[in-house]
Amino acid sequence: MALGSSSPEEEVPKVGGEAGEEDEVSPPQILALPVTDYASVSPDASTEGGALSVVGEAGQEDEELPPQRLLSSPTIPTTDQVSLPASSPEGGGLKEGCNARQEDEAPLPHLTSSGSSQEDSEAEQEGNASSPREEREAEEEQEGDVGADEEEEEEDDEEEAPTHLPFAPSSESKLPDDTTTIDPTYIISVIRRLIPQGSAVDKESSKKQEQTEERDASSGGGESTQPYDKDLWERDACNLWDLAVIEPQAELMVNNHVLEVLLGNLHVRQSVRMKEICIGIIANLACHKSLANAITSQKGLIATVVNQLFLDDSDCLVETFRLLIAIFQSNASILWAEAILPDEILSRILWIIGNTLKSTLLQKTIDFLSALIDDQDVITILIEPLIKVGLVECAISLLITEVENSLDGNKLDRSDSLDSILRLIEELSSIDNCSKVMSSNDQLIKALNSIVKLPDKFEVVGYCASVVIVLANLLADGKHLAPILSHDLALLEGLFDILPLVSDETGARNALWCILTRLLKQIQAQETIMNSSTIEQFVSLFLGRFTIIKDDIERYGIETEADSSVEGVSLQNGLYTSLRAICSITERWIADKSSLGKADASPTGYTIQNARDLLRYCRSYEP
Q: How many domains does the chain divide into?
A: 2
Which helix or strand (DSSP H or E) is residue 43 part of? Answer: strand 40-43
Outline where DSSP puts E strands in 483-556: none
Q: Which residues of 191-213 are buried (b: 16+ CB within 10 A; e: fewer)?
A: bbbbbbeebebbebbeebbeebb
Q: How many CB atoms lie within 10 A of CB 601?
A: 12
Which one-letter amino acid corresponds to residue 4?
G
Domain boundary among 282, 305, 327: 327
- Residue 442 domain-assigned (yes or no): no
Q: Which residues pair with 566 in a beta bridge?
A: 569
Greatest mean pLDDT among 13-22, 377-386, 527-536 lies in 377-386
- Residue 178 domain-assigned (yes or no): yes
> Exposed, middle or buried, 174 (CB in 10 Å: 0-12/13-18/19+)?
exposed
Domain boundary among 327, 359, 384: 327
Mean pLDDT value across the chain = 74
- Residue 449 domain-assigned (yes or no): no
CA atoms within a 13 Å half-sphere pointing along the CA-CB vector of 293: 2
What DSSP line would sit under 371-427, residue for residue? Answer: HHHH-HHHHHHHHHHHHHTTHHHHHHHHHHHHHHHHEETTEE---HHHHHHHHHHHH
User: What pTM value is reported for the model?
Assistant: 0.67
DSSP state of 112: B
Contacts of 144 (CB under 8 A, 6+ apart): none
User: Residues 423-480: pLDDT tens digits?
Assistant: 999 999 999 899 999 999 999 999 999 999 988 877 778 889 999 999 999 999 888 9
Percent of the chain scoring above 90 in pLDDT: 47
Distance CA 105, CA 19 (A): 7
| 3-class secondary-structure state, position 322 | helix
User: Residues 262-299: pLDDT tens digits?
Assistant: 999 999 988 999 999 999 999 999 999 999 999 999 99
User: Residues 492-531: pLDDT tens digits?
Assistant: 999 999 999 998 898 899 999 999 999 999 999 988 888 8
Q: Can you state the angle between helices 376-388 and 343-355, rounded to 10 degrees? A: 80
Determine the distance from the C-alpha atom of residue 95 to the mean position of all C-alpha atoms in its chain, rounded to a whole number.
Answer: 11
Range of the domain at 107: 35-130+165-327
CA angle, 480 as apex, 475 and 482 as ends, to 5°? Answer: 55
User: Residues 106-158: pLDDT tens digits?
Assistant: 444 443 333 444 444 444 433 333 333 444 444 444 444 434 444 444 444 44
- Residue 180 domain-assigned (yes or no): yes
- Residue 574 domain-assigned (yes or no): yes
Contacts of 479 (CB under 8 A, 6+ apart): none
Starting from the edge strand earliest in sequence, which strands make up the sheet with 40-43, in order? Answer: 40-43, 52-55, 63-64
Domain boundary among 308, 327, 346: 327
Contact 181, 110 (CB under 8 A): yes
Residue 419 has pLDDT above 70, yes or no: yes
Work out the average pLDDT over 348-355.
96
- Residue 603 domain-assigned (yes or no): yes
Distance CA 498, CA 472 (A): 14
Distance CA 318, CA 373 (A): 19
Q: Which residues of 125-146 are buried (b: 16+ CB within 10 A; e: fewer)?
A: bebbebbbeebeeeeeebeeee
CA angle, 501 as apex, 2 and 410 as ends, to 5°? Answer: 100
- Residue 70 domain-assigned (yes or no): yes
User: Residues 35-94: pLDDT tens digits?
Assistant: 334 333 333 433 333 333 333 333 344 443 443 333 333 333 433 433 333 333 333 333
Residue 217 has pLDDT above 70, yes or no: no
- Residue 24 domain-assigned (yes or no): no
Tell me which of 307-316, 322-331, 593-602 is least confident: 593-602
